[in-house]
Structure 1
Amino acid sequence: MGTLTTAPMTHHDPALSFESHLTQEMCDSVLASLRRRDQRHKGQLYVRGLLTAQGRKTMRNLATSTREPAAAQSLHHFISVSTWDWSEVRTSLARRLERALTPHAWVVQPMVTPKSGVHSVGVQRRFIRQLGQAVTSQHSHGLWLAGQSAAAPVNWQLSVGEGRSQDLARGARDGVPETSGGTWSGFGDDTAISVVLEAASWGLTPRPVVIDARDVPPAPLIEAFTAADLPFLLRVSGNTPLLAPDLSGGQRRVLTAPAEHLATLARSQQRPVEWVDPAMPHVLRTGLAAVLPVLWPGITVPRRPRPHGMSAVDPRRSGGAELLLMGQWHPNRRRVAELWLTNMTRAGRGTLLRLSKLTRRTDTDFTRICLDVGAQDFEGRSYHGWHRHMTMVSLAHAVRVLVREDREHADLERSG
């Protein structure tokens, strides 16, 4: 009886059948840049393993999802030893998802992967603000195409720190990029910058770059994205120094003050904004937002000595980038909840607030999908291997997202 009842679910479940068909179609399309037929075959096996293997996506676990002998060794070679170019695969995936998802923003999201050992590339002991403690971990940034209903990663950059080349085994060092000074690149804010600028070179339609930048210095981000002519929206900490009109005195002065203090001066300009929560579809929320024109000092002119505390500054001599500061408040709360800087000076507060909430979309899909398809399960030590694994993770994530989008579209049609 058990065989009779379970067989139809295995072979005829429409959801499973559609996911299998979409996996085949996506792999044929996205992996077409791989020149060798055996590489394209192994790539498809790897993606299917990420989608179907239970538990951690180890090589042994992935191999059990195939019916091929020596699959574990074959897949290991494909990820850690082979020479295929992950950037070409990511470019193809990004272009495909740009058409399928019509994203509103490029959200840059950090990923902290705890590690028990220190020999894998990029492993360091770092203080993680969200956890409130130091953790031995890999740290990376993903670039996500994010819309109201879905988000998917299309590019990754791994932070490898500086000066650790003597601490790692040869296999971990291989392929790690070096700066002109001989130290490893991709540390801290440089990782967030490089993951965006590389994707910007792929011919995608530029979207606002949305980043929670409270843990990195915002100056390099602002300078890099301004030079690349990219719109951005950066969440900043309350002590970030800015130049802005003095709203309290009624005189035409410009003062320098922390972002949180300037938001307090702009509280009289608060307006309610409704937004649909990307983390909870169909849930309508209301927030309070105010915007204030500000300047980011020190980008285009040499730094000048400033008096301690707040002081009047001549805006014609201060230099810097023209930006907007947006403060967000929860209803019935006096203290500002979030602070965001943007170069989209003509955007309304409603547009900016809704863009900022797309970080909730990436958080949700990272937790529900990306982790499940192996984002933190790579056990190898090499830089190349990590990047190739994350490329296949991105492809598997895209399949899951598109299956969900198709299912939700079908549900809407039936209910309509």
Structure 2
Amino acid sequence: MGSLITALTTHDDPADSPDRHLSDEVCESVLASLRRRDQRHKGQLYVNGLLTAQGRKTMRNLATSTREPAAAQSLHHFISVSTWDWPEVRATLARRMERLMTPHAWVVRPMVTPKSGVHSVGVRRRFVRHLGQAVTSQYSHGLWLAGQQAAAPVNWQLSVEEAQLPGTLAGGHDAAPGVTDDAGRSSDDARCSSDDTAVAVVQQSASWGLAPRPVVMDARDVPPAPLIEAFTAAGLPFLLRVGSSTSLLAPDLSGGQRRLLSAPAEHLSTLATSQQRPVEWVDPALPRSIRTSLVALMPVLWPGGAVPRRPRPAGVPVAGPRRTGGAELLLIGEWQPNRRRVAELWLTNMTHAGRGTLLRLSKLTRRVDTDFAHICADVGAQDFEGRSYHGWHRHMTMVSLAHAVRVLAQENRVGEEWERSG
């Protein structure tokens, strides 16, 4: 990520880092909604600690990497006990980053955080596809503003399973263990199961006044029906990667009769192989590396019938009626040259978009994966050691700020525009 990012992590005196000024500028503008001066100061300390501390971002490690090595307790209080409004901070960051980045899409990315214990909120044992095994972990989704050159997370939702929520929380019942902050306050906006977090993070972000962008997501680990329904109801374009067994409806091209064929997506893709065309794209994971894929498009229908209504997480606006019934979509198949089996399958409601546009949008998931590994994980996305729901969200808000500083530091001009846009 260049010399500027290296300086952020290896400078002899972190407090005098050449990008400390940019970090303070970002924090000063985004944290302006915090009413108390001491909260704004602690926010700057926390972000600077995330940017400069080596290794795991523990409170002690964060404090010792700043100008106030004795601040570990106050930083803990700022994250786990304080009452500042993290959704407003995220909304401010999202609007500022949108103006500077002009993203092509909102990429929704899952994050699995392994945990050794079971006392933190949202922790349970779940199967993780890319690891091929069950892992005791937290599960969340982040919404990223993504372009060809960079991506930045601006919102997060943590999965809290229904089993952890025996009471209604908002109706006078006792809160479930773990769904409280460290001061004992219950959370009435924590009811997000693993199937709901992707929908919730998009709906909440859409309520911030951002310009609508295509929602791009690898949806192989969650049921696609709630996503298709919610994004259609919200009027958002979407591009969802689906599994090979996803059932779809398509014209039966074999018998010459006008009838619909219900079949798995992978089987339907074989009917479109004659429509394959080469498309070039730049691999975000390998800068300046141009690749070629074969892409075919096939009109399909999403099977009719309403998906059972899911409880809406409190605090997330209703996007509209939850029906799609027979939505007209495109199935996109991508093949690697000289390979017979389809490599990736995507569904979209952008039925008039071309092959090149759709393929390049799908590759923004690789952009986000790359920036998560090189930036977001390095500034502590999976290092929160507390147990509370609100504490996790406040920590992830500060992680988003630190990630934004790293992205802006890649190009001095962008950082200068941030200062002028304040």
Query: The residue matched to 1:189 in structure 2 has which SS?
Result: coil
> Which residue number corresponds to residue 187 of structure 2?
176
Compared CA separation, residues 56 and 407, structure 1 to 2 (3 A): farther
CA contact (8 A) 2:408 2:414 kept: no
Q: Which amino acid aligns with 2:115?
A: K
Q: Which amino acid aligns with 2:149?
A: S
CA contact (8 A) 1:330 1:337 kept: yes
Distance (whole Å) between structure 2 residues aligned to residue 177 and residue 40 of structure 1: 26
Compared CA separation, residues 329 and 396, structure 1 to 2 (3 A): same
Compared CA separation, residues 288 and 50, structure 1 to 2 (3 A): same
Distance (whole Å) between structure 1 residues aligned to residue 179 and residue 55 of structure 2: 28
Distance (whole Å) between structure 2 residues aligned to residue 162 and residue 13 of structure 1: 44
Query: The residue matched to 1:26 in structure 2 has which SS?
Result: helix
> Which residue number corresponds to residue 370 of structure 1?
376
> Which residue number corresponds to residue 312 of structure 1?
none
Distance (whole Å) between structure 1 residues aligned to residue 336 and residue 179 of structure 2: 50
Q: Which amino acid aligns with 1:143?
A: L
- Displacement after TM superposition at 1:254 (Å): 1.6
User: What runs of 5+ residues in structure 1 fail to find an aligned partner?
Assistant: 1-8, 179-183, 303-317, 411-416
- Displacement after TM superposition at 1:299 (Å): 4.3
> Which residue number corresponds to residue 145 of structure 1?
145
Distance (whole Å) between structure 2 residues aligned to residue 330 and residue 195 of structure 1: 32
> Which residue number corresponds to residue 294 of structure 2?
288
> Of the two, which has the highest radius of gyration?
1
CA contact (8 A) 2:157 2:197 kept: yes
CA RMSD, Structure 1 to Structure 2 (Å): 2.3
Compared CA separation, residues 301 and 214, structure 1 to 2 (3 A): closer
What is the number of equivalent residue pairs in this alignment? Answer: 380
Moved more, 277-286 or 53-62: 277-286
Distance (whole Å) between structure 1 residues aligned to residue 124 and residue 291 of structure 2: 39
TM-score for the superposition, normalised by structure 1: 0.87
CA contact (8 A) 1:149 1:281 kept: no
> Which residue number corresponds to residue 258 of structure 1?
264
> Which residue number corresponds to residue 42 of structure 2?
42
TM-score for the superposition, normalised by structure 2: 0.86
CA contact (8 A) 1:174 1:382 kept: no
Compared CA separation, residues 286 and 192, structure 1 to 2 (3 A): same
Query: The residue matched to 1:106 in structure 2 has which SS?
Result: strand
Distance (whole Å) between structure 1 residues aligned to residue 15 and residue 410 of structure 2: 15
Compared CA separation, residues 168 and 300, structure 1 to 2 (3 A): closer
Pick from 226, 229, 249: which aligns with 1:223? 229
Pick from 209, 213, 216: which aligns with 1:203? 209
CA contact (8 A) 1:119 1:169 kept: no
Structure 1 residues 390-405: aligned runs within 5 Å: 390-405=396-411
Q: Does 1:279 align with 2:290?
A: no
- Displacement after TM superposition at 1:176 (Å): 3.2
Q: What percent identity do the matched residue pairs reach? A: 76
Structure 1 residues 5-20: aligned runs within 5 Å: 16-17=17-18, 19-20=19-20
Deviation string for 1:33-52 (max 9, x for gaps)? 11111111110000000000
User: What runs of 5+ residues in structure 2 fail to find an aligned partner?
Assistant: 1-10, 166-175, 309-323, 417-422
CA contact (8 A) 2:380 2:399 kept: yes
Query: The residue matched to 1:94 in structure 2 has which SS?
Result: helix
Q: Which amino acid aligns with 1:389?
A: H
Q: Does 1:71 align with 2:86?
A: no
